[in-house]
Structure 1
Amino acid sequence: MPQGDYIDLHRKRNGYRLDHFERKRKKEAREVHKHSTMAQKSLGIKGKMIAKKNYAEKALMKKTLKMHEESSSRRKADENVQEGAVPAYLLDREDTTRAKVLSNTIKQKRKEKAGKWEVPLPKVRPVAEDEMFRVIRSGKRKTKQWKRMVTKATFVGPAFTRKPPKYERFIRPSGLRFTKAHVTHPELKCTFCLEIIGIKKNPNGPMYTSLGVMTRGTIIEVNVSELGLVTPAGKVVWGKYAQVTNNPENDGCINAVLLV
Structure 2
Amino acid sequence: MPQNEHIELAQKRHGKRLDHEERVRKREARKPHKLADKAKSMHGLKAKLYHKKRHAEKVQMKKTIKMHEEKKSKSKKADVVPEGAVPAYLLDREGQTRAKVLSNMVKQKRKEKAGKWNVPLPKVRSMGEDEVFKVVRTGKTRRKGYKRMVTKATYVGEDFTRKPPKYERFIRPMALRYKKAHVTHPELKATFQLPLIGVKKNPSSPMYTSLGVITKGTVIEVNVSELGLVTQGGKVVWGKYAQVTNNPENDGCINAVLLV
Cα distance in 2 between the residues matched to 1:213 and 1:94:
56
Confirm or deny that 1:107 pairs with 2:93: no
Q: Residues 154-206 of structure 1: CA distance to partner in whole angstroms, max 9, x if unpaired? A: 00111000001121100000000000000000000000011001111111121
Unaligned runs of 5+ in 1: 1-51, 60-85, 87-92
Match of 1:215 in 2: 215
Q: How does 1:1-260 map to 2 (within 5 A)?
A: 94=94, 96-97=96-97, 100-110=101-111, 113=114, 117-260=117-260
Cα distance in 2 between the residues matched to 1:103 and 1:195:
40
Amino acid at match of 1:204: S
Cα distance in 2 between the residues matched to 1:111 and 1:140:
53
Q: Residues 86-143 of structure 1: CA distance to partner in whole angstroms, max 9, x if unpaired? A: 9xxxxxx63635563343222342465466x211011111001100100000000000
Shift of 1:235: 1.2
Q: CA RMSD in A?
A: 2.6
- State the TM-score, normalized to the length of structure 2: 0.62
Cα distance in 1 between the residues matched to 2:187 and 2:136:
45
Identity %: 68
- State the TM-score, normalized to the length of structure 1: 0.62
Shift of 1:233: 1.2
- CA gap of 1:105–1:215, structure 2 versus 1, over 3 A, is same
Shift of 1:238: 1.1
Count of residue pairs brought into register by the alignment: 176
Unaligned runs of 5+ in 2: 1-33, 42-75, 77-92
Amino acid at match of 2:121: L
Bigger-Rg structure (1/2): 1
